[in-house]
Amino acid sequence: ELRPIIQIDGGKLMSSDINELYRRVIYRNNTLIDLLTTSRSTPGELVMCQEKLVQEAVDTLLDNGIRGQPMRDGHNKVYKSFSDIIEGKEGRFRETLLGKRVDYSGRSVIVVGPSLSLHRCGLPREIAIELFQTFVIRGLIRKHFASNIGVAKSKIREKEPIVWEILQEVMQGHPVLLNRAPTLHRLGIQAFQPILVEGRAICLHPLVCKGFNADFDGDQMAVHVPLSLEAQAEARLLMFSHTNL
């Protein structure tokens, strides 16, 4: 997973940069072993030079460029070392271990919606159409407003009136989960029945903010769509806000 080997057209293999850096370490280490075992008369300076080459290969594997000029491939592209894989927002730690980006989710600022019921939340049209796009596409095709997925996506891009009608039908029976970090107890993530609202902020009744420890001074919340029937049933029975008062 970290250093895959992929077969491409023509039976050729495409390897990750880490594999190439490992190959370099192994090749230089084998050369050093040959110098130490095959000939006892090998000059010490030559052995020391080869040891430095092995150390350089290991350093490049861990952090390419730490010794100055980074190692590049035949296309003058810098090889990615371990430090490049694990650092940054898309690195191994922040991308998959500390957190993970998921589909059917969104994030926006919350604003007060005093006219909402306790179990409802207001989703902006821009967020709702992205979250429920696959369901809207299925609805357009089933009701013969679109002949295929491409036509359905085109109607969604053009924001035709039928798109919003089907979106509202889909949202009526589909709860969403709202979460505010840090989730320190079970009330940090609750289920709501979404409705469409104008603007770009998520609307929330002020009386449900206590469980989230949220207020309306710029707090952000994440919204997730439960996909399976089991997850939707669990959201309705256990996680709706009016059942967690």
Taking only the tens place, the pLDDT of each residue in 50-95 is 999 999 999 999 988 887 788 888 788 888 888 888 888 777 787 7
List 179's β-bridge partners, or say none.
189, 222
**Last residue within a domain, chosen from 97, 114, 148:** 97
Whether residues 66 and 114 fall in one domain: no
Beta strands 220-224; 105-112: pairing state: antiparallel
Whole-angstrom distance, CA of residue 25 vs CA of residue 62: 11
Whether residues 232 and 120 fall in one domain: yes
193-218: average pLDDT: 92
Q: What is the pLDDT of residue 173?
A: 85
Whether residues 228 and 118 fall in one domain: yes
116: domain CATH number is 2.40.40.20
**Last residue within a domain, chosen from 97, 122, 140:** 97
Whether residues 55 and 91 fall in one domain: yes
Q: Could you say which DSSP state residue 71 is in? A: P
**Last residue within a domain, chosen from 72, 97, 122:** 97
Count of domains for the chain: 2
Record the pTM: 0.64
Whole-angstrom distance, CA of residue 234 vs CA of residue 191: 9
Whether residues 9 and 81 fall in one domain: yes
Tokens standing for 220?
């952000």
Q: Residue 83: inside a domain, yes or no? A: yes
Tokens standing for 59?
């350093």
Q: What is the pLDDT of residue 64?
A: 87
Q: What is the pLDDT of residue 165?
A: 94
